[in-house]
Amino acid sequence: MITYHSKAARELLAFYAEAGVDSAVGERANDWLADERANAPAPAEISTSPTSPAVRRASAPVPAAMPAPPPTPDAAVMAARDAARSASSLEELRAILDRFEGCGLKGSASRLVFADGNPQSRLMFVGEAPGAEEDKQGLPFVGRSGQLLNRMLAAIGLDRTQVYIANIVPWRPPGNRTPTPVETQICLPFIQRQIELANPDILVTIGQPSTGALLSIQGIMKNRGRWFAYQTGTREIRAMPILHPAYLLRSPIAKRLAWRDLLAIKKALD
């Protein structure tokens, strides 16, 4: 028999799962507002008459201090641009990004997923956003899509230690939803600076979201495998959109297109 409490608990868990909360971070529930309540100002001295309106107001629960409202999207994009510009190395950029509070995704993700591979590589791949496995490990492309990406690299004689890999958005969106245009715009200055600092010769945008954000190109099917110019900020490099491994897992027939694109990338490196 399902009691009221176990039914409510199941519904709550189902709600959490849909919202992307799929792992516990501790054994015991944490009251995150306890500190704020403890630090809230004490009620003012008031008339001692138990029936006075002031007494009745004062005995009502003291509301917790309100958290600062989030910055407007424009302010967050401006702050991201300034913050990204101030980084003079990839390590600094990572630290700045880790402290950045302008993107709401940071609050729901477990950790920052900055990059993997070799930042000195001539070849850089940029995907969309971390999924559940990437969020757990703090590394991009380590789930099912990442395993296929590894096999794609192996097909042209490369492994992860020979390429540099990052995402447009470095925090996992809840429930793996698509990042909103505002979230993407806020994160864009950071990945642009990351590309500039890594300074690859060839940039590969993985899937439409990355291609749209970095190359301002729509239509991955007609543009994959083509070369585009990308301005890093200090020079022009070559960029190629490829199909996302998540798409290739759903449509294995398209792997032959990906294979063609990988050969073109290999040729450009030689």
Give the residues lining the site for ligand URA (CB under 6 A). 127-131, 134, 140-141, 143, 145-146, 167
Spatial distance between the Cα atoms of 243 and 254, rounded to a whole number of angstroms = 8
Question: Residue 140 CB, nearest distance to ligand URA (Å)?
Answer: 4
Question: Residue 173 CB, nearest distance to ligand URA (Å)?
Answer: 11
Between residues 146 and 241, which has the closer beta carbon with respect to ligand URA? 146
Between residues 46 and 217, which has the closer beta carbon with respect to ligand URA? 217
Question: Residue 129 CB, nearest distance to ligand URA (Å)?
Answer: 6
Residue from 186, 183, 204 nearest 195 by CA: 204
Between residues 131 and 200, which has the closer beta carbon with respect to ligand URA? 131
> 153 CB contacts (<8 Å, ≥6 apart)?
159, 160, 162, 163
CB closest to ligand URA, residue no: 127
Question: Residue 75 CB, nearest distance to ligand URA (Å)?
Answer: 27
Question: Residue 204 CB, nearest distance to ligand URA (Å)?
Answer: 12
Spatial distance between the Cα atoms of 228 and 15, rounded to a whole number of angstroms = 43
Burial 143-182 (b: 16+ CB within 10 A, else e): bebbebbbebbeeeebebeebbbbbbbbbbbbeeeebeee
Residue from 237, 196, 228, 194 nearest 90 by CA: 194
